[in-house]
Amino acid sequence: MSEVSNNINTGVEYEIALFYKLLKNQPNEQTQVMNAINRRYDVAKVKSIIAETDTSSIERALSAAGFVLVDASFETQNDEVGPADIVMHVTNRSGQKKKIGLSVKYANTCTLNVTGRNFITDAQIAQLRGQLPRYTDMYIREMTNAYGNVNNWFRKRKPSNTTDQYIDLIRDAVIANWRNVRNKTTLLSALFHSDSPIEFWVVTYGNYGYTLKTKPQTIDMSRANDVTVGKYQTSYVAFYLDGIMVGHMQVKFNNGFVEKCKKLNPDVVCQGVEIAYGQPFSSWNFSVEK
């Protein structure tokens, strides 16, 4: 149960709470999970989510599909079950067993964190990295003019026109290179989880309970080369098929435009604070349309 007691991934408390509730037919397992929850630093929050979580909508959906919930397993770090964080072990009326995954989210529709290297070339990345020092100087001037002392804005996620401008350069690179991406079928299959080894549903928590989506959206992978891309809002690249937006990807810095320096030699020193350049290519968020 160490995966339950020690996991600190963002949003994992919702996965754990739902997992606990789905063990209603396995009281011994449920007790073990609660013991692990009691060892968590956020035990009160997990228990509050448990209290607000009703699994009846999931059980009704299973019943409508001809299945009964027997057991559940916590699979948040198991890539072999696709995007599933929890796997429901179910049986049909004939006693045949099946696994159905649940991808659990909180207030977002992100289906995959993906590296920018899937969309732009090494040469483009090198060219963009070469501009990062200049944009970092611009960012520091912008923040200092707006907020003063470095401690008023560093690692505070303040809105920034400089950040938007740099992300726009990346989006231009993505759009310019899209026609040259040769593995579109493989890439889009991963983005839309059309290659998931088991069926999965999506559970999205919000301010009031959760919503259940039993048919996650995908696209016909034989038409991967017909997908086009364009800019959407301030920081997104939209994916279109037949003029309809089927997905969008947030181009972003992994931990902010600038980061706390963990290197021996900082990239920048501002008012005595050692700063490292941000990481703009390592973790972008892809979401399917609702």
pLDDT band at 175 (very low <50, low <70, confident <90, very high): very high
Write out the two tokens for 119.
Answer: 């969309």
- Enumerate residues 6+ apart whose C-beta is below 8 A from 26: 71, 72
Model confidence at 42, pLDDT cuts 50, 70, 90, reads: very high
- Residue 203's φ and ψ, nearest 5 degrees, are -110, 120
Q: Is 199 helix (H, G, I), strand (E, B) or coil?
A: coil
CA distance 150 to 160: 15
- Helical ranges in the chain per DSSP H: 2-6, 12-22, 27-37, 43-52, 56-64, 122-147, 161-177, 184-191
pLDDT for residue 290 is more than 70: no
Reported confidence tier of residue 110, pLDDT bands at 50, 70, 90: confident
| Average pLDDT of the segment spanning 190-209 | 90
Mutual angle of helices 122-147 and 161-177, in 10-degree steps = 160
Judge whether residue 216 has pLDDT over 90: no
Helix (H) or strand (E) holding 8: none
pLDDT of residue 90: 97
pTM above 0.85, yes or no: no
pLDDT at 99: 97
